[in-house]
Amino acid sequence: MTNDRQHWEGAYRSKPADQVSWYRARLEVSLELLVAAGLSPSSRVIDIGGGASTLVDDLLDFGVRAITVVDLSPASLDIARRRLGPRAEHVKWLAADITTVELAEASFDLWHDRAALHFLTAPEAAQAYVRSATRALASGGHAIIGCFAADGPEKCSGLPVVRRDPDDIAALFGDAFTLVDLRREVHSTPTGIQQRFAYALLRKS
């Protein structure tokens, strides 16, 4: 974990947050799927690998007040906190490894991840991630998982990734979850490179 944290700290300190390859001014697909999953002001939402993402801004605008943002990089969380100003006080910020952090059982209704899971290339790390999500999500809760699609890039930020289509994501999560919706997206990086993403909306039994 230490080396991973150092990598992402360096990534966020070496260039502006809106110039990293994964930057997107608004996570339209994620928001569509969150709404489809029943997002409401009373939803308890956790954003995995949220870092400096603007999703938290949109959730606050929506009226959500139980928001947790998890990222390995404290620097990325600081960027989001500074951007939000006083509104950052309404968010719980957690600099942690999602495969090892202790989250309370059934403490969230919605689990969101755009491009964190695909960095877990070791099978045991991916399984630890699934265990964490399964424990933290309430029964009937939803996970929105976005990652590089099967025809997407093989690396991001110099690191290898695991590419998955929606069915692959559902298979990883197993029988405790049902695939209820999916999306595909072509993301254009700030330098104009196109990257293919796949999203799965999963419901926990």
93-135 tens-digit pLDDT:
999 999 999 999 999 999 999 989 999 999 999 999 999 999 9
How many angstroms separate the CA atoms of 76 and 8, rounded?
8
Homologous superfamily of 2-204 in CATH? Vaccinia Virus protein VP39 (3.40.50.150)
Q: In the predicted model, what is the mean pLDDT of residues 151-155?
A: 94
Express each pLDDT in 157-191 by its tens digit: 889 999 999 999 999 999 999 999 999 999 999 88
Residue 137 scores a pLDDT above 60: yes
Query: Of 75, 61, 17, 55, whose CA–CA distance to 144 is shortest?
Result: 55
Q: How confident is the model at residue 2 (pLDDT cuts 50, 70, 90)?
A: very low
pLDDT of residue 1: 47
In b/e form, how buried is each residue of 5-40, taking b as 16+ CB within 10 angstroms? beebeebbeeeebeebbbbbeebebbbebbeebebe
Kindly report, residue by residue over 37-60, the tens digit of the pLDDT: 999 999 999 999 999 999 999 999
